[in-house]
């Protein structure tokens, strides 16, 4: 008799396989690392075979694990489609979502994939722009939702999603560019919260620097960093594996994290927007450290499903 493949176990397995780490998977599914390890052991026991090859540095799938991953994704997708077909068959319409390119490329793809599977009749238009450009678009109702960094100066406060750490990065080589003074830094455009946090950290630490490049796009910053011309400060979620993360021992100052929110236009009060905002909250949220655990639980329970 085939074992019952628990949906929660499959979700954890998929996260561990895609992220290549039990630690990262624990963060993604909001469990402790010990709980994730226990879930994987339960799944391996049910399948009767190891699913991961474990060593001190890498976590990779066995052949059986690779086979299960394909089926696990299909099972999860079918579960969500089945729920949508029965529970929300009437949801249809159009949503315009705006977000900076670093969040679009790193955080939103799995959310949009799952949402589209659950609500296939909803059309989503994604607009890639920095928060400074999205703020007036939201005010004018040209976009419905903005998945952005919280910035009171732009009136983009929204509903809190997560606090994202910011890391210094450089090209993976031995040039020791981070030791140069003034420090060459690739920065986002003026007015951007990420730029403000980076510059404030350098100023507080008294580190002399020069703006080697200014860009409204993360791709522009990456081009300069890849060329070995500057270091940059990026949200941890968006750092490509090819870059080196410069830890505190490199003498660079700690940068204040970015608070990510989903802000809504005045005309976004309709089910399509409600459910996409709730999907982002459910899939990506981490508790706001300024909010008590009780307040956070109440906010989650009050979100539309």
One domain for residues 228 and 282: no
Side-chain-side CA neighbours of 305 within 13 Å: the count stands at 7
Q: Do 16 and 75 have their domain in common?
A: yes
Contact 135, 156 (CB under 8 A): yes
The reported pLDDT for the residue numbered 252 is: 94
Residues 13 and 73 in one domain: yes
- The verdict on 16 and 67 lying in the same domain is yes
* Residue 186 forms part of a structural domain: yes
Token pair belonging to 282:
């459910």
Residue 286, pLDDT score: 65
**Residue 2 lies inside a defined structural domain of this protein:** no
At 30 the pLDDT is 79
Based on the fold, state whether residues 176 and 242 are members of the same structural domain. Answer: yes
| Gyration radius of the chain's alpha carbons | 21
Structure confidence at residue 287 (pLDDT):
52
In this structure, the answer to whether residues 249 and 264 fall within a common structural domain is no
In a domain, 156, yes or no: yes
Looking at the fold, whether 96 and 145 belong to one and the same domain comes out as: yes
Is the same domain home to 75 and 11? yes
Both tokens of 135, joined, read 């703020």
pLDDT range class, residue 79, cuts 50, 70, 90? confident
pLDDT band at 245 (very low <50, low <70, confident <90, very high): very high
235: domain CATH number?
3.40.190.10
100 and 22 in a common domain: no
- 116 in Cβ contact with 122 (< 8 Å): yes
Q: Within this chain, do residues 70 and 98 fall inside the same structural domain, yes or no?
A: no
Predicted confidence (pLDDT) per residue in 188-206, tens digit: 998 889 999 999 999 999 9
Considering the domain boundaries, does residue 1 fall inside one? Answer: no
224-238 residue pLDDT tens: 999 999 999 999 999
Q: Point out the domain boundary residue: 66, 86, 106.
A: 86
First to last CA, the chain: 35
pLDDT tens per residue, range 20-67: 888 888 887 878 889 999 999 999 999 999 999 987 667 899 999 999
114 CB-contact burial (10 Å; exposed 0-12 / middle 13-18 / buried 19+): middle
Res. 299: pLDDT tops 60? no
Residue 47 domain-assigned?
yes
Domain containing residue 80: CATH number: 1.10.10.10
Q: Are residues 124 and 154 in the same domain?
A: yes
238 shares its domain with 125 = no
Give the range of the structural domain holding residue 138, as residue numbers without chain letter: 91-163+259-301
Note the pLDDT of residue 29.
83
């Amino acid at each position: 008799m085939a074992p019952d493949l628990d949906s929660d176990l499959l979700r954890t397995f998929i996260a561990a396989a895609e992220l290549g780490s039990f630690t990262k998977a624990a963060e993604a599914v909001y469990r402790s690392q010990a709980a994730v390890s226990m879930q994987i052991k339960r799944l391996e026991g049910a399948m009767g075979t190891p699913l991961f090859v474990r060593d001190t540095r890498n976590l990779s799938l066995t052949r059986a694990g690779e086979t299960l991953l394909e089926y696990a994704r299909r099972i999860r997708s079918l579960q969500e489609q089945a729920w949508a077909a029965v529970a929300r068959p009437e949801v249809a319409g159009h949503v315009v979502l705006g977000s900076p390119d670093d969040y679009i490329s790193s955080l939103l793809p799995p959310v949009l994939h799952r949402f589209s599977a659950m609500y296939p009749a909803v059309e989503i238009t994604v607009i890639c722009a920095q928060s400074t450009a999205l703020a007036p678009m939201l005010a004018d109702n040209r976009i419905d939702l903005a998945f952005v960094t919280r910035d009171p100066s732009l009136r983009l406060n929204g509903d809190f999603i997560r606090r994202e750490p910011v890391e210094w990065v450089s090209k993976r080589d031995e040039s020791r560019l981070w030791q140069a003074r003034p420090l060459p830094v690739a920065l986002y455009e003026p007015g951007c919260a990420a730029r403000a946090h980076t510059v404030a950290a350098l100023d507080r630490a008294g580190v002399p620097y020069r703006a080697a490049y200014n860009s409204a796009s993360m791709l522009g910053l990456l081009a300069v960093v890849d060329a070995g011309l500057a270091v940059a400060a990026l949200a941890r979620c968006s750092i490509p594996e090819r870059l080196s993360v410069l830890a505190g021992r490199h003498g660079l100052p700690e940068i204040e994290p970015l608070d990510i929110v989903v802000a809504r236009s005045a005309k976004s009060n309709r089910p399509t927007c409600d459910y996409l905002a709730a999907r982002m909250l459910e899939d990506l949220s981490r508790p706001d450290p300024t909010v008590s655990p009780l307040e956070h639980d109440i906010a989650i329970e009050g979100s539309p499903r």
